[in-house]
């Protein structure tokens, strides 16, 4: 069945789109996606392939996650999500064991809330704090995006604690992720978000702050940006 997935993805390859994706996902030397290879396949097509092969053995899913081509890893992530409800522990273990290959923001943002976030809802979440302190950008983003699941349940404590850990992160992609999660907290409880912001906003990277206050009324937003809160 693995070879069938390979054949299916080979048929969908689009050279022109691949060039666009290579630029969009920053695959150049020194960029966050350095060395990533794209086939130029759109997400709806990847979802169709994933659904067709959702019964793929987990060992073969690991092969997908270890493939150098981005879309193969994406299909691997989609299949894990499809399998998750019936095989939570097994899927979680495969995901965590192959986390080094969940190595671009789209892969992380799709999988972390739907796998680690859901799995850890009723469990000890210390692994997220370990990931938040990792030297690997994508592991730190997994830590932050996993909290999206908790935020949706109006459980904010871990998201806020991990946000504090990541306040001094040097990567712009992490500034965006933290700001995004703070904004999501604010959608559900503005008082909680603002309490955190008032304690931390003067020391926040600008991008993080802008993302966090994006939905604020313009006057309040400007006061935060000018440091007048």
**pLDDT tens-digit readout, 63-117:** 999 999 999 999 999 999 999 999 999 999 999 999 999 999 999 999 999 999 9
CATH number (domain holding residue 142) = 1.25.10.90
Tokens of 6: 């390979």
Answer positive or negative: Cα dihedral of 63, 65, 70, 74.
positive
Which of these three, 98, 129, 151, is where a domain ends?
Answer: 98
Average pLDDT over residues 4-13: 95
Q: What is the pLDDT of residues 104-140, one digit of tens each?
A: 999 999 999 999 999 999 999 999 999 999 999 999 9
Nearest to 99 by CA among 146, 52, 47, 165: 146
Residue 36 lies in a domain: yes
Q: Same structural domain for residues 162 and 222?
A: yes
Q: Do 86 and 167 belong together in one domain?
A: no
Q: What is the pLDDT of residue 1?
A: 83
From residue 104, how far is each of 18, 20, 169, 198 by CA, in Å? 15, 16, 17, 31
Positive or negative CA dihedral for 89, 94, 97, 98? negative
pLDDT of amino acid 39: 97
Q: Is residue 18 in a domain?
A: yes
Q: How many domains does the chain have?
A: 2
Neighbouring residues of 190: CB distance < 8 A, sequence distance ≥ 6 = none
Rg (CA), the chain: 19
* Dist CA 165 CA 179 (whole Å): 13
Residues 84, 149 within the same domain: no
- 217/129 same-domain check: yes
* Pair 59, 131 in one domain: no
Instruction: State whether 133 and 205 are in the same domain.
Output: yes
């Amino acid at each position: 069945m693995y070879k069938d997935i390979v054949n299916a993805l080979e048929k969908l390859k689009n050279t022109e789109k691949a060039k666009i994706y290579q630029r969009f996902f920053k695959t150049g030397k020194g960029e966050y996606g350095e060395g990533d290879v794209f086939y130029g396949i759109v997400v709806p097509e990847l979802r169709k392939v994933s659904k067709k092969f959702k019964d793929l053995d987990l060992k073969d899913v690991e092969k997908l996650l270890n493939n150098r081509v981005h879309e193969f890893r994406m299909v691997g992530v989609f299949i894990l999500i499809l399998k998750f409800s019936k095989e939570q522990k097994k899927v979680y273990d495969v995901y965590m064991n192959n986390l080094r290959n969940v190595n671009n923001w789209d892969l992380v943002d799709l999988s972390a809330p739907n796998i680690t976030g859901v799995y850890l809802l009723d469990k000890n979440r210390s692994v997220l704090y370990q990931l938040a302190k990792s030297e690997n950008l994508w592991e730190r983003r997994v830590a932050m995006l996993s909290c999206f699941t908790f935020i949706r349940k109006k459980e904010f404590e871990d998201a806020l604690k991990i946000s504090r850990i990541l306040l001094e992160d040097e990567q712009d992609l992490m500034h965006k992720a933290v700001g995004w999660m703070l904004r999501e907290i604010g959608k559900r409880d503005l008082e909680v978000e603002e309490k955190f912001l008032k304690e931390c906003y003067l020391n926040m990277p600008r991008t993080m702050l802008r993302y966090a206050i994006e939905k604020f009324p313009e006057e309040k937003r400007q006061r935060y940006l000018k440091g007048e809160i």
